């Protein structure tokens, strides 16, 4: 296991190094001059030269790449051209909001997806199974931006059941100011007893979280259905039925537990994918997370910020894959030999 862990860690580090080099190259080939974006379009040549020196753009590319690696080693992603703040600071402010949104979506996916998969496996190849499969297939294949627009138009604009956009009502900043500790609004509001902001955040969270949950719910339901139905066809299930156990007991005690292993392994990868989907959802619902920050960075040609977001998502993907591989290796020793 130790050899397998070291091998996978080495591979993950190489992937991250490759992503760092790629993001550095992308910064240099994107159109636009970061110095002009920093100093403004009317800056004098002297001001532009000073900014290039300040940002290290006057150094040779190998030197810039080395400084980029050295900065990342110390948690320095550079300085945002748009906000003039360290990119690491901006990411620390934006990521908790995305984590709040994606985390809520994943909770919905688990709470809804596993029972749906169980229901489909219980009534395999019947009408209920068909309905679940069709519904989950729609959830997996439907474009998130289209679903976000539909839910926004129907439930926010037409029916007025939920707010259109934002994380919570901005007027509450005056009447019920929030004490920030984790930058996850719903958590800070709950633990500080700020119930107006807590309720407002829940209301604003419903629609975007449902959009985020659509894909993971479908994947979790389909995986649960496949794993549980496979367990129900094994010899031990026939013995349990012969011993007089009810179908509910067989499903929950003898089929679901061993079937959860591949589902849990899948969740880490689905989380990383949902985080990328959140970029489009945040843009539609004006949610102040990584997606909104990335869109602002692209509009202002803020290459350090774009590279920082790209690198963060890549690291999350690498870590998620590593976690899944380690879980599978711990559950099945044959994985370590591949």
What pLDDT is stored for residue 240 in this prediction?
65
What pLDDT is stored for residue 250 in this prediction?
67
Contacts 24+ apart (CB under 8 A), 46-55: 55/79
Handedness of CA 33, 35, 38, 39 (dihedral sign): negative
SS (H, E, C) 95-111: HHHHHHHHHHHHHHHHH
Task: Give Cβ neighbours of residue 6 (< 8 Å, ≥ 6 apart).
Answer: none
Sequence spans of domains, the chain: 98-291
Q: What is the pLDDT along the chain (338 residues), one digit of tens a residue?
A: 667 677 777 777 788 788 778 777 776 666 666 666 666 666 677 766 776 776 666 677 777 777 777 777 777 777 787 777 888 888 888 889 888 999 999 899 989 988 888 888 877 778 888 888 888 888 888 888 888 888 988 998 888 888 888 888 888 888 888 888 888 888 888 988 889 999 999 999 999 999 999 999 988 888 888 877 777 676 666 666 666 666 666 666 666 666 677 777 777 778 878 888 888 888 888 888 888 888 888 777 777 788 888 888 888 888 877 777 776 666 555 555 55
Burial state string for 129-164 with b = 16 or more CB within 10 A and e = fewer than 16: beebbeebeebeeeebeebbeebbeebbeeeeebbe
What pLDDT is stored for residue 182 in this prediction?
83
Task: Give Cβ neighbours of residue 314 (< 8 Å, ≥ 6 apart).
Answer: 15, 16, 19
Task: Give the separation between CA 282 and CA 145, rounded to whole angstroms.
Answer: 9
Task: Give the separation between CA 332 and CA 336, rounded to whole angstroms.
Answer: 8
Helix (H) or strand (E) holding 18: helix 2-29
Tokens standing for residue 39? 């100093």
Nearest to 21 by CA among 10, 13, 33: 13
For residues 227, 233, 236 and 238, what is the CA-based torsion angle, rounded to 10 degrees? 140
Task: Give the separation between CA 140 and CA 119, rounded to whole angstroms.
Answer: 18
Fold entry, domain 98-291: MetI-like fold (1.10.3720)
Helix (H) or strand (E) holding 228: helix 195-232
């Amino acid at each position: 296991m130790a050899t397998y862990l070291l091998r996978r860690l080495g591979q993950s580090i190489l992937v991250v190094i490759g992503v760092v080099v790629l993001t550095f190259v992308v910064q240099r080939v994107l159109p636009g001059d970061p110095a002009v974006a920093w100093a403004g379009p009317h800056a004098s040549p002297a001001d532009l030269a000073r900014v290039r020196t300040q940002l290290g753009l006057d150094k040779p590319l190998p030197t810039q790449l080395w400084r980029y690696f050295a900065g990342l080693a110390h948690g320095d992603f550079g300085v945002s051209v748009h906000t003039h703040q360290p990119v690491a600071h901006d990411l620390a402010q934006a990521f908790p909001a995305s984590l709040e949104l994606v985390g809520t979506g994943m909770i919905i996916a688990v709470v809804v997806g596993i029972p749906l998969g169980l229901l489909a496996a219980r009534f395999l190849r019947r009408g209920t199974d068909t309905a679940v499969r069709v519904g989950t297939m729609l959830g997996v294949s439907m474009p998130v931006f289209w679903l976000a627009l539909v839910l926004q138009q129907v439930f926010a604009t037409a029916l007025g059941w939920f707010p259109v956009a934002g994380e919570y009502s901005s007027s509450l900043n005056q009447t019920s100011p929030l004490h920030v500790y984790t930058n996850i609004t719903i958590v800070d509001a709950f633990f500080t007893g700020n119930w107006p902001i807590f309720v407002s955040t829940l209301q604003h969270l419903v629609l975007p979280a449902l959009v985020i949950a659509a894909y993971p719910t479908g994947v979790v339901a389909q995986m649960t259905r496949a794993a549980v139905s496979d367990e129900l066809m094994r010899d031990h299930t026939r013995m349990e039925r012969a011993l007089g156990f009810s179908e509910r007991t067989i499903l929950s005690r003898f089929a679901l537990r061993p079937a959860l292993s591949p589902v849990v392994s899948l969740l880490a990868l689905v989380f990383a994918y949902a985080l990328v989907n959140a970029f489009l959802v945040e843009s539609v619902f004006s949610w102040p997370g990584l997606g909104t920050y990335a869109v602002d960075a692209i509009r202002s040609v803020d290459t350090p910020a774009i590279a920082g977001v790209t690198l963060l998502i890549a690291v999350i993907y690498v870590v998620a894959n590593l976690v899944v591989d380690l879980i599978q290796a711990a559950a099945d020793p044959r994985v370590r030999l591949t």
